[in-house]
Amino acid sequence: MPEAAAIPKQPVTDELITQEVLARVGTNPTAFSGADNPSAAWRLMLSDTPGAYPLYRDLEEKDGQISSALETRKEGVLRRERKLVAVSSSAADERRAGFAREVLAAIPNFENILYELLDAAGYGFTAAEILWEQDGSTVFIRDIKARPQELFAFGAPGLPQTGPLQFSSVARSPMLDGRSLPQHKFLVYSFHPRHGNRRGRPL
């Protein structure tokens, strides 16, 4: 007798990364301002810690060659044709594919979301929060918001970053620090991860 399909859990519809959390991080590109010793910044970038991301952001903002290379890579990907097809020609699968197309088409600024996710080539990984909406028995995506890399980790500080997505200590909140994140709440794109390191390979 075939095993019964598991009933999906209700999605987490709350927005976890609030404006209050974002205000704690601060994403203005001022990481190199006033730095007298570039070696210290270089060591931080090699340390594979959340503190390196302001440096990557600063480089992208202020180094024309780096920003141009990243822009060219992202534009090259976004110019390619995209399409969503049903897994089979059955009526049920065609309906599912049609619903998925409608959901994606209704997401605000979807092209810009893809653009931000492609930042992984420069930063190693990107994470975006999915804002789910539920209307009766129908679940759909209300919005997707890219989030600063500093807020996330894939393991405890100093340990391999190979585990599930969690909030990092940079969030500086007892409610968030080290908290495991709900499944299907965040999109994560790791760029060329090596040895399972989900932080990927940044600049």
Could you read off the pLDDT tens digit of each residue along the chain, which spans 203 residues? 444 445 457 888 899 888 888 887 765 555 565 556 667 777 777 777 787 888 888 888 888 999 999 999 999 999 999 999 999 999 999 999 999 999 999 999 999 999 999 999 999 999 999 999 998 888 999 999 999 998 999 988 888 999 999 988 776 555 555 567 887 999 999 999 999 999 999 87
Fill in the amino acid letter for 200: G
What distance in Å separates the CA atoms of residue 57 and residue 52, rounded to the nearest whole number?
9
**Sign of the dihedral through C-alpha 88, 94, 96, 98:** positive
Q: Could you tell me the pTM of the whole model?
A: 0.84
pLDDT given at position 3: 47
pLDDT given at position 179: 61
The upper half-sphere exposure of residue 201, i.e. CA atoms within 13 Å in the direction of its Cβ, equals 5
Fill in the amino acid letter for 41: A
pLDDT given at position 54: 84
What distance in Å separates the CA atoms of residue 4 and residue 60, rounded to the nearest whole number?
50
**Sign of the dihedral through C-alpha 106, 108, 112, 118:** negative
Helix (H, G, I), strand (E, B) or coil at 149: helix
CB 25 within 8 A of CB 151: yes
CB 59 within 8 A of CB 100: no
158 secondary structure, DSSP code: T
pLDDT given at position 172: 57
Which residues have a Cβ under 8 Å from the Cβ of 39 and sit 6 or more positions away? none
